[in-house]
């Protein structure tokens, strides 16, 4: 890729919440997204945050700066989605990197999809790494369950949502965090639209929504469909029995190995094509 | 004889009865077994139309000479109840001839079969369907499947969309199909499992497409309230959000009970207007071979775990490499410095979800057994046959772990060589 057409990567940063202390912190997945962006060669990283700057979230925002970026663009006073859309458009980014779910608020994971719809770009979720950036397309690695990976090619511009399995973000250094700048961004078109658009926003009826601390989910009961009293009694009185596994004592090592290999092949976890 | 007992005079055989009473008689067992087959009824209709019972004839004489009464009906001969049980259909049939509305469920079908979460969501769909008459639950299946029990899981209508494109990641095409269904049927609800890349991704795409603020991470629906409300996990599962129930629902597992007592007509359904083919913006380049050592312990499928009983750690690492297993360790092995801390399995380390867990030289402290609770198959190699890990294991081998692991390495290498020669 020629240098004058360097990829411009907008990274969407949000304020996270520590799962135990509930203190504001850098959001884990957003930090991973920023880490991914910083690992790219020849890419301009444009960190964006929509919201107000106050004493509660300044430390959290600054911890992103401590990862080695000089400034964060702050888009204040607006609907989040509109602010993001305008911010991304004005930064002329062709890749948007973000975490897949916020750590505060509803945390529905819908924002990347809504933003992609607004921008008219494709979206890929579950991103683990960006393998290659070409003219107009990117080769990505996507996380599948059980640690498996899949390679995808997506046409740019695109929105990429980072999976929790992506590389862990680097530590935040205190000095750069204090020196970095959080620059408020004046967006040209935002004030005019915001009033009219917010009415359409479905978040309006969310004042009926109630947030409570998460309740522990009830454990599913074992449902007993017994026709006779005897069956019901047996089910109720049954002990959680031992698994009743096979115990082989005094067998030769070869026989033991055969037993193990038989079970591994039955469960199809043993791949005989691989390394010798 | 027994046939006559109901209507005609009762004929007794005193000698026979005497033998039956005397279990020391040489002919006792012979006659008793004859009786239990059909001869003695313990319940019959008397001549006046009154049910007569002979309590002494109930049950059978057990091996210790004590009368045993088995009320499950399995061992009682001649009892009508057994036949009745067999004839009863175990599930009632649930038919909807002319559905007025539909509830759509898009299943993940991991491994080509309905997952437990898919079944829970079908259960939730039927709870919602019961609120309105003539509402059918339709399941959308993309690509090949191996499922044979759609009827038991509660599928009224099945929309099976075939095509090679569905083998890989094809969200645009899937979304095009879902929007085509939306246009044709305008279902009451769309239900998805809120799971990583399957329903979680597709459901959000559809919600955005339909301009619906979807309920994500839903785990409870309050059907009694008007309008129906639901409880969703919010803020990284630290909060519960109670809100109205939208049309697009992404539900967690165990959000409702799966269907267990009805049998549904799995009627094939076809769309009148199918979506047009389009140029995909996302191209699937296929799966990537993953180094098992790089897979995080929590999501590894096959773990070889070592503990205090291991003498030959080099052999252990070699075995893991040859088997293609992710390495784990017990706390003692980590404390002694044989394995890094991030490889520790157990309550204080990582809770693993492996399908196969192989514990070598681990006796099974309670914290370790907690950590492997959700493993399917546990193989254990240990010198002590009485340890807790042996009790937990599905296959326990008592012997020297160094020798057994060496034998495993040798055998697997041989198998691989053979396979290579054949190919």
pLDDT of residue B279: 81
The sign one gets for the Cα dihedral B162, B165, B167, B169 is negative
Quick one: pLDDT at residue B13? Answer: 84
Q: What is the pLDDT of residues B140-175, one digit of tens each?
A: 999 888 888 899 999 999 999 988 888 888 899 999
Cβ–Cβ under 8 Å, residues A254 and B411? yes
DSSP letter assigned to residue B305: E
Yes or no, beta carbons of A147 and B290 under 8 Å apart: yes
Residues B107 and B45 in one domain: no
Q: Domain residues for A134?
A: 3-208
B66 in any annotated domain: yes
B301 touches chain A (CB under 8 A): yes
Does B274 map to a domain?
no
Give the residue numbers spanning the domain of B57: 2-87
Residue A92 banded pLDDT, cuts 50, 70, 90: very high
pLDDT at B35: 56
* Model confidence band, residue B332 (pLDDT cutoffs 50, 70, 90): very high
Distance, CA of B42 to CA of B58 (rounded, Å): 6
Per-window interface: B 7-36 vs A, CB < 8 A: none
Where are the strands (E) in chain A, listed by range? 7-12, 15-17, 24-26, 43-50, 71-75, 95-99, 123-134, 137-143, 149-155, 158-162, 181-184, 210-213, 246-249
| Residue B261 contacts residue B231 (beta carbons within 8 Å) | no
Residue A178 in any domain: the answer is yes
pLDDT at A276: 58
Give how many domains chain A has, as a whole number: 1
Judge if B114 and B191 occupy the same domain: yes
In a domain, residue B285? The reply is no
Give the C-alpha distances (Å, rounded to integers) separating B56 from B20, B43, B53, B68, B161.
11, 11, 9, 11, 63
- Return the structure tokens found at A17: 């919440």
Which pLDDT value is given to residue B222?
93
In a domain, A267, yes or no: no
Length of chain B, in residues: 423
**Backbone phi, then psi, for A110, in 5-degree steps?**
-90, -20
Q: In total, how many domains does chain B have?
A: 3
Rounded percentage of chain A residues whose pLDDT exceeds 90: 51
Task: Pick A247's closest partner by Cβ from B214, B390, B416.
Answer: B390
What confidence tens digit (pLDDT) does each residue in B58-95 have?
Answer: 777 777 778 888 776 555 443 334 444 444 557 888 88
Asked, for residue B360, whether it belongs to a domain, the answer is yes
Q: What is the pLDDT of residue B80?
A: 39
Mean pLDDT of all residues in chain B? 85
Inside any domain, residue B249 = yes
Mutation target to probe the B interface, by most B beta carbons within 10 A, among A120, A245, A255, A263 is: A245
Do B106 and B249 reside in the same domain of the chain?
yes
Residue A52 lies in a domain: yes
* pLDDT at res. B39: 52
pLDDT score for A219: 82
pLDDT at site A147:
78
**Coil, helix or strand at residue A37:** helix
Residue B274 pLDDT level (bands cut at 50, 70, 90) = confident
Which range of A37-51, A136-150, B26-40, B47-61 scores highest in mean pLDDT? It is A37-51
User: B319 to chain A: nearest residue by CA?
Assistant: A276
- Supply the mean pLDDT for chain A: 84
Residue A236 lies in a domain: no
Whether the Cβ atoms of residue A168 and residue A132 lie closer than 8 Å to each other: no
Same domain, B212 and B341: no
Which of B236, B242, B415 has its CB closest to that of A272? B415
Pairing of strands A15-17, A24-26: antiparallel
Residue B289 confidence (pLDDT): 79
What one-character DSSP code corresponds to residue A170?
P
User: Is B194's pLDDT higher than 80?
Assistant: yes
Scanning every residue of chain B, which has its alpha carbon at the shortest distance from the alpha carbon of A259? B395
Check whether residue B233 and residue B98 sit in a common domain.
Answer: yes
Three-class DSSP category at B186: coil
At A123-177, the pLDDT tens digits run 999 999 999 998 889 999 998 887 788 999 999 899 999 998 899 999 999 999 9
Based on the domain organization, do B65 and B125 belong to the same domain?
A: no
Are B238 and B372 in a shared domain?
Answer: no
- CATH number, domain of A108, equals 3.40.50.620
Predicted local confidence at residue A244, as pLDDT: 67
CA distances to B292, B295, B327, B406, B408 from A273, rounded to whole Å, are 14, 19, 20, 20, 16
Q: What is the pLDDT of residues B100-127, one digit of tens each?
A: 999 999 998 877 788 889 999 999 999 9
Report how far residue B188's alpha carbon sits from residue B104's, in angstroms, rounded to the nearest whole number.
Answer: 8
User: What local confidence, expressed as pLDDT, does residue A105 receive?
Assistant: 87
N residues, chain A: 276
Residue A67: pLDDT over 60: yes
Average pLDDT value for residue range B169-189: 93
Residue B130 lies in a domain: yes
> A46-67 burial string, b = 16+ CB within 10 Å, else e?
bbbbbbeeeeebeebbbbbbbb
**Measured between beta carbons, which residues in chain A are less than 8 angstroms from residue B237?**
214
* Residues B157 and B12 placed together within one structural domain of the fold: no
B281 domain residue, yes or no = no
Do B300 and B249 reside in the same domain of the chain? Answer: no
């Amino acid at each position: 890729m020629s240098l004058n057409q360097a990829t411009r990567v907008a990274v969407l940063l949000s304020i996270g919440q520590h799962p135990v202390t509930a203190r504001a912190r850098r959001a884990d997945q957003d930090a991973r997204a920023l880490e991914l962006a910083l690992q790219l060669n020849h890419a301009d990283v444009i960190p964006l945050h929509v919201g107000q700057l106050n004493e509660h979230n300044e430390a959290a925002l600054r911890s992103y700066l401590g990862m080695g970026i000089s400034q964060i663009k702050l888009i204040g006073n607006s609907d989040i989605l509109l602010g993001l859309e305008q911010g991304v458009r004005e930064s002329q980014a062709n890749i948007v990197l973000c975490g897949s779910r916020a750590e505060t608020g509803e945390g529905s994971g819908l924002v990347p999809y809504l933003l992609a719809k607004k921008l008219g770009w494709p979206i890929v979720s579950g991103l683990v790494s960006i393998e290659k950036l070409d003219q107009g397309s990117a080769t990505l690695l996507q996380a599948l369950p059980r640690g498996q990976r899949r390679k995808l090619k997506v046409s740019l511009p695109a929105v990429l949502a980072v999976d929790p399995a992506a590389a862990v973000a680097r530590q935040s250094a205190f000095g750069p965090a204090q020196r970095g700048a959080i620059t408020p961004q004046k967006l040209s078109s935002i004030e005019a639209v915001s009033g009219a658009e917010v009415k359409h926003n479905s978040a309006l009826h969310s004042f009926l929504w109630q947030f409570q601390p998460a309740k522990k989910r009830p454990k599913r009961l074992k449902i007993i469909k017994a026709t006779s009293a005897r069956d019901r009694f047996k089910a109720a009185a049954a002990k959680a029995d031992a698994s009743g596994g096979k115990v082989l004592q005094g067998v030769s090592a070869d026989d033991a190995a055969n037993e193990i290999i038989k079970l591994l092949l039955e469960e199809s976890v043993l791949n005989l094509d691989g390394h010798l | 004889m027994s046939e006559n007992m109901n209507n005609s005079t009762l004929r007794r055989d005193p000698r026979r009865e005497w033998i039956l009473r005397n279990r020391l008689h040489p002919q006792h067992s012979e006659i008793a077994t004859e009786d239990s087959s059909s001869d003695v009824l313990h319940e019959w209709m008397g001549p006046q139309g009154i049910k007569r019972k002979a309590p002494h004839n109930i049950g059978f004489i057990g091996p210790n000479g004590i009368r045993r009464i088995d009320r499950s009906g399995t061992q009682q001969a001649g009892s009508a109840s057994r036949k009745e049980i067999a004839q009863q259909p175990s599930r009632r049939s649930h038919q909807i001839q002319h559905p007025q509305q539909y509830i759509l469920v898009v299943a993940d079908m991991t491994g080509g079969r309905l997952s437990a979460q898919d079944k829970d969501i079908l259960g939730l769909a039927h709870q919602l369907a019961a609120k309105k008459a003539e509402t059918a639950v339709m399941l959308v299946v993309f690509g090949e499947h191996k499922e044979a029990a759609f009827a038991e899981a509660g599928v009224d209508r099945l929309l099976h969309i075939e095509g090679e494109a569905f083998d890989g990641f094809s969200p645009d095409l899937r979304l095009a199909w879902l929007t085509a269904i939306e246009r044709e049927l305008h279902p009451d609800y769309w239900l998805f499992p809120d799971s990583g890349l399957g329903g979680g991704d597709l459901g959000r795409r559809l919600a955005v497409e339909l301009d619906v603020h979807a309920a994500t991470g839903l785990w409870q629906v309050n059907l009694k309230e008007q309008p129906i409300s639901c409880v969703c996990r919010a803020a990284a599962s630290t909060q519960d959000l109670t809100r109205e129930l939208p049309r697009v629902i992404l539900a967690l597992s165990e959000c409702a009970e799966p269907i267990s007592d009805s049998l549904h007509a799995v009627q094939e359904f076809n769309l009148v207007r199918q979506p047009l083919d389009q140029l995909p913006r996302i191209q699937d380049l296929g799966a990537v071979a993953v180094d098992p050592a790089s897979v995080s312990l929590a999501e590894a499928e096959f773990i070889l775990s070592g503990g205090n009983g291991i003498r030959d750690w080099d052999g252990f690492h070699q075995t893991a490499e040859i088997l293609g297993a992710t390495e784990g360790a017990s706390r003692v092995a980590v404390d002694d410095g044989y394995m890094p801390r991030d490889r520790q399995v157990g309550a204080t380390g990582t809770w693993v979800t492996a399908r196969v867990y192989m514990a070598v030289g681990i006796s099974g402290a309670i914290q370790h057994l907690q950590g492997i609770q959700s493993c399917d198959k546990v193989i254990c190699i240990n010198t002590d046959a009485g340890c807790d890990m042996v009790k937990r294991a599905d296959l326990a081998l008592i012997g020297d772990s160094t020798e057994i692991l060496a034998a495993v390495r040798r055998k697997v290498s041989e198998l691989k060589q053979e396979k290579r020669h054949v190919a």
